[in-house]
């Protein structure tokens, strides 16, 4: 797993890692860790603290555990977070936590690719100004009024979106840029390399870049 941190919290992270390592060696700095967690609880999400204090929480199986995700406090972010959360809710709320992480990966991978818009919102909204069913994400142009009725699923999607945007990268899809439901067989998929099947979705990357 790759786990990166924003530059604005690098000093905090360095301090935490130093204390955490020292604590592992000496077993007597738990109170100090708790003090730092309380001091910076508004800067660092709980899942970041969990991973810093307990290295085992950085394992993929821990991150994608639904009980762990559901036990986290609600996550609130900015515009990009809202776009990603909405996409996960309307596109993949019926999927497992792993399946939702996988869909989120595709969106973030696209935002990092020169072939797509360079923001999460740009990726999610791509093609939404075209005719019906011509957008990248069906819910953006299916002509239906989108409403959030399942609050618990939206909360879960928001937590997953928050983790992904904090660069908690579990690399489930091997760099996939595309996906579709297993119930359909789009012609464009034949031109791509399948990287993974997770839940009800198949994931693909360009053949030239697939492993």
pLDDT attached to residue 49: 85
CA angle (154 as vertex; 196, 118 as ends), nearest 5: 60
Q: In what order do the strands lie in the sheet with 178-181?
A: 178-181, 201-206, 192-198
Digit-coded pLDDT (tens) for 14-24: 444 444 444 44
Residue 34: per-residue pLDDT: 54
What confidence tens digit (pLDDT) does each residue in 151-174 have?
999 999 999 999 999 988 789 999
Q: Tell me: the pLDDT tens digits for 37-96?
A: 555 555 788 998 888 888 899 899 999 999 999 999 999 999 999 999 999 999 899 999
Burial bucket for residue 83 (CB in 10 Å: 0-12, 13-18, 19+): buried
- Predicted local confidence at residue 27, as pLDDT: 43
- In the predicted model, what is the mean pLDDT of residues 140-144? 68
Residues above pLDDT 70, as percent of the chain: 72
- Adjacent-strand bridge partners of 198: 201
d(CA 36, CA 210): 42
Highest mean pLDDT among 27-36, 38-47, 140-149: 140-149
Question: How many helices (H) does the chain have, and how many strands (E)?
Answer: 9, 5
Q: Is the pTM of this model over 0.85?
A: no
């Amino acid at each position: 797993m790759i786990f990166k941190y924003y530059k604005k919290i690098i000093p905090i992270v360095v301090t935490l890692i130093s204390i955490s390592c020292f604590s592992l060696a000496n077993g007597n700095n738990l109170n100090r860790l708790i003090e730092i967690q309380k001091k910076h609880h508004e800067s660092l999400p709980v899942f970041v603290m969990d991973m810093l204090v307990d290295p085992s929480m950085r394992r993929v199986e821990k991150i994608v555990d639904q009980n762990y995700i559901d036990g986290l406090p609600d996550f609130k972010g900015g515009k990009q977070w809202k776009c990603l959360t909405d996409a996960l809710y309307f596109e993949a709320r019926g999927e497992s936590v792993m399946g939702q992480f996988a869909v989120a990966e595709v969106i973030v991978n696209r935002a990092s690719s020169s072939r797509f818009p360079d923001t999460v919102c740009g990726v999610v909204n791509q093609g939404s100004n075209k005719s019906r069913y011509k957008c990248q994400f069906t819910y953006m142009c299916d002509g239906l009024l989108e409403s959030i009725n399942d609050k618990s699923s939206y909360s879960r999607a928001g937590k997953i979106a928050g983790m992904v945007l904090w660069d908690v990268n579990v690399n489930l899809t091997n760099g996939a840029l595309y996906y579709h439901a297993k119930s359909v067989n789009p012609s464009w998929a034949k031109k791509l390399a399948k990287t993974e099947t997770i839940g009800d979705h198949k994931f693909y990357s360009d053949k030239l870049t697939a492993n």
